[in-house]
Amino acid sequence: MPLDYDLYWSFRSPYSYMVAPRLLALEAEHEVACRVRPVYPLAVRTPEFFDTRDPLWLPYFMTDVFREAAFLRLPFRWPRPDPVQRGPDGRYPEAQPWIHRLTHLGVAAAERGRGLAFLVEASRVIWSGDVDDWQEGDHLARAAERAGLDFAEMAAAVDAAPDRYAAVVEENQVAQRAAGHWGVPMMVFGGEAFFGQDRFDQLKWRMQQHGLTARRGS
């Protein structure tokens, strides 16, 4: 049986974007199964979180995300537009159609067994800098197709039952905190939380201690 772990992940997190390709490669090369559990970003869940940050937090964060992307050799630009909308006063309104729908699409992809592949493809569209107005046209549809999904079917399901998908996201968020942290990306293996894309190597190391094996032919 493959080893399995939970992945708590946000479409608005640059670090989530950065770790997803490595997790997909891990699953392709080893007997590992990822349970994708999308969550809303902190800006939606707890926007007051950012009100208490030290003034140095944002400048360092913006330096670090570009540096880390360059280190990982990933194309990177802050999304245009930001998946989380802000009002003229700089506050985050309660109505957030883009990030809610994105997160629900992530849930739907996971339910169809292609969650991790969809996270990789969709986040590349949003974060790589190759696409402006990622929310328009067929950008997400083509990302879903590359992930092996029928976007029209998946989107119709999401749009028809937003409350059901929101409930799944809420369950994920409760489970995330119960597992030991609130941030993303967060991998939970064997009851142990690994928070941050820079914990990937430790996650793999722990899996190796529990008998991680290569897939045949990889």
Q: Which residue pairs from 58-65 have beta carbons closer than 8 angstroms and sit at least 24 positions apart in sequence?
A: 65/14, 65/15
Residue with tokens 């290569």: 214
Architecture of domain 3-209: 3-Layer(aba) Sandwich (3.40)
- 195-217 pLDDT, tens digit per residue, is 999 999 999 999 999 999 999 87
Q: Is 16 marked active-site?
A: no
What is the pTM (predicted TM-score) of this model?
0.95
- The active-site residue out of 10, 13, 16, 123 is 13
Domain range annotation of the chain: 3-209
Average pLDDT of span 37-52: 85
What is the C-alpha to C-alpha distance for residues 149 and 142, in angstroms, rounded to an integer? 9
- 174-188 pLDDT, tens digit per residue, is 999 999 999 999 999
- 141-157 pLDDT, tens digit per residue, is 999 999 999 999 999 99
